[in-house]
Amino acid sequence: MKLWDKGTVVNELIENFTVGKDREMDLYLAKFDVLGSMAHIRMLESIGLLRKDELDMLLAELLNIYKLADRGEFVIEEGIEDVHSQVESMLTQKLGDVGKKIHSGRSRNDQVLLDLKLFARHEIQNIVEATHELFGKLLRKAEENKQNLMPGYTHLQVAMPSSFGLWFSAYAESLADDLLLMQAAYKITNQNPLGSAAGYGSSFPLNRQMTTDLLGFDQLNYNVVYAQMGRGKMEKTVAFAMASIAATISRLAYDVCLFMSQNFGFVALPDELTTGSSIMPHKKNPDVFELVRSHCNRIQAIPTQITLMVNNLPSGYFRDLQLIKEVFLPAFDELMSCIRITGFAIDNMTIRQNILDDDRYKYVFSVEDVNRLVLDGVPFRDAYKQVGGQINAGIYEPTRTVEHTHEGSVGNLCLDRIESKMDGVVAGFRFEKVEQALNSLLSI
């Protein structure tokens, strides 16, 4: 079944090439296609294009299809082109001609736009909640280890005193900023394109504000041409925000791989969270973090892939946009798995104590000793030369104490303020508005 079928038989080679992986990708969108149809037909009834009894029949059957999709049992049958065609076919099989009425005032163009936005909006909420959970694990580790010093590095050279509290909370605060970027992507996503049809509107007196409210969108994509131009733009924007989270996790994963090596030995995972070597019996490899790093780096490539698909397209719809689904839709599961496995590993990580007691790290205190001389009245440049001279002469002995008090330093991590920052960002998504709207839509 093809919604555009006018009796012409398409060459099989052409059909297979143009459909591509669309059936497979559209399974991600099934629930959301049904939600869009439920809102659309309520609006059609309100403007006189459906009778009340027809609306009731359609809503009841669409709810059955929604439940089927929610259980993972929705199937796009052989010979059916996409999710939109499958839903309409199922309705027509059950309800006859009434099922054919749901497409009035729509195009597959605005249907897929809507499906993608509803899907992305739903998945963003899952990502935000998982990231918030990982944030909490990092902050708890920071609190538990705020007194446990470690060397800080610049250029991979021992630099200044740090702490595991500082290290863990650095990644926690990074995630807060990542979600601020995701919030911007969410606001771009959370605008209703339905009613833009093929990109030029409809002669039917559609009530686009009604479907906006029914689906819990913040507002409309008002201009119908711009609504179509949003295809690809929304995916790219969300992908950039996902890439930001992935970049934070990838960097954390690299640190862990480094710090687990015998030459550092700062952190360790239980044996059951590591893997071994087929030839070296002593090996306990951090494969989980190596794979997290690689997955996250692959996610960071997605915005570039999408950009290259859309950056030379004029206004209007083009089939090029279909391929974006293949890199965009599965990316949420990939990022989600990285967030969850990272949190699990962090929970089970043990931290080495008293690292800076080792003489190999004694120079990490040199800046502290320079600063003490400055506090005693020695000009900074002279104090720097004095301590540097002791180091060059091999006679430097550190005091091994750290006295940092300013905000965000070893001695004042501001964990409560970092937590407050994150809480404010998460609250700004206002997910509850969407949940209330969709619960109401499904309550027929």
Looking at residue 4, what is its pLDDT?
44
What confidence tier does 284 reach under pLDDT thresholds 50, 70, 90? confident
**84: buried, middle or exposed (CB in 10 Å: 19+, 13-18, 0-12)?**
buried
The whole-chain average pLDDT of the chain stands at 93
Q: State how far the Cα of 300 lies from the Cα of 297, in Å rounded to an integer.
A: 5
Would the pLDDT of 5 be above 60? no
The answer to whether 148 and 165 have CB atoms below 8 angstroms apart is yes
377: left (phi over 0), alpha (psi -120 to 50) or beta: left
Pairing mode, if any, of strands 149-154 and 157-163?
Answer: antiparallel
Looking at residue 277, what is its pLDDT?
64
The sign one gets for the Cα dihedral 5, 8, 12, 14 is negative
CA distances from 145 to 257, 315, 331, 350, 384 (A): 19, 54, 33, 10, 31
Would the pLDDT of 67 be above 80? yes
Q: Which of 90-94, 130-134, 304-308, 314-318 is the least confident region?
A: 314-318
Looking at residue 126, what is its pLDDT?
98
Which is higher by pLDDT, 185 or 11? 185
- DSSP lists the bridge partners of residue 149 as 163
Q: State how far the Cα of 291 lies from the Cα of 256, in Å rounded to an integer.
A: 12
Looking at residue 22, what is its pLDDT?
75
Which is higher by pLDDT, 78 or 69? 69
Looking at residue 160, what is its pLDDT?
95
The answer to whether 89 and 2 have CB atoms below 8 angstroms apart is no
CA angle, residues 149, 153, 155, in degrees to nearest 5? 175
Would the pLDDT of 386 be above 60? yes
Looking at residue 100, what is its pLDDT?
94
Would the pLDDT of 1 be above 60? no
The predicted model gives 256-276 an average pLDDT of 91
Return the C-alpha torsion angle 269, 270, 275, 280, nearest 10.
90
pTM: 0.93
Looking at residue 6, what is its pLDDT?
55
Domains in the chain, please, with CATH? 12-103 (1.10.275.10), 108-150+161-184+230-357+414-431 (1.20.200.10)
The predicted model gives 38-44 an average pLDDT of 98
In the chain, the percentage of residues whose pLDDT exceeds 90 is 85
Would the pLDDT of 80 be above 70? yes
Looking at residue 18, what is its pLDDT?
66
Sequence-distant (≥ 6) Cβ neighbours of residue 318 within 8 angstroms? none
